[in-house]
Amino acid sequence: MISNGENMGTVHSFMPEKLVIGILIHDRNLIDRVLMEIENKFGGIDYKSESFLFTFSDYYNSEMGSPLYRSFVSIKKLYRPDDLSSIKIETNEIEEKLSISGKRRVNLDPGIMALSRFVLASTKESSHRIPLKSGIYGEITLMFEKKRFRPVEWTYPDYSSEQYVSILNKIRDIYKEQLK
């Protein structure tokens, strides 16, 4: 039987989404340089969280030092969600530029936020990550339900924390206002 196309989906452009970058750093004196690099690559920052102690893992300590501090920024300019792979490559370039003797001094975790979800970029393959482009994967990390972001079963413990969810909910409010 030939369909008349009534049930066929229509291809359309993606809605622009909010770029959020998690910053992990040991030397807090480096933060102004990191923010400058982010703004030069991605545009003005419209939100910056407080810096707080990162206690969820010691994975980065041998490379970056200890203690580590986490903060988040969001970018005023909205991006197409299919830009996430190139954004991850650019944040990796910033990490490399600021490294010393092959050791990173900053770890940048870019994610793209829609009203319904928050997707982190990764270079690591896993069953719950979707290949995007150029060796970069996307992972739905949080879903928005019942007026707040909530973790899914594979969400990292730090992104499941009330502190992170609260920050990302604030950024979502900024994004929602931008869309009006």
- Expressed as residue numbers, the domain containing 171 is 17-179
Q: What is the DSSP string of the chain?
A: ----STTPPPP-PPPPEEEEEEEEES-GGGHHHHHHHHHHHH--EEEEPPPEEE-S--TTHHHH-SSEEEEEEEEEEEE-GGGHHHHHHHHHHHHHHT-BTTB-SEEEEEEEE-SSEEEEEESS--TT-EEEETTEEEEEEEEEETTEEEE-TT--HHHHSHHHHHHHHHHHHHHHHHH-
For residue 31, pLDDT over 90 is answered with: yes
Domain-embedded: residue 7:
no
**How does pLDDT run across 65-124, given as a tens digit for each residue?**
999 999 999 999 999 999 999 999 999 999 999 999 999 999 999 999 999 999 999 999
12 compared with 34, residue with greater pLDDT: 34
Q: What is the pLDDT of residue 6?
A: 63
Domain-embedded: residue 118:
yes
Domain-embedded: residue 100:
yes
Query: What's the domain count of the chain?
Result: 1
For residue 11, pLDDT over 60 is answered with: yes
Domain-embedded: residue 8:
no
From CA 168, how far away is CA 166, in angstroms rounded? 6
Domain-embedded: residue 10:
no
Domain-embedded: residue 66:
yes
Domain-embedded: residue 1:
no
Domain-embedded: residue 12:
no
Residue 40: CATH number of its domain: 3.30.70.260
For residue 3, pLDDT over 80 is answered with: no
pLDDT average, residue stretch 157-178: 97
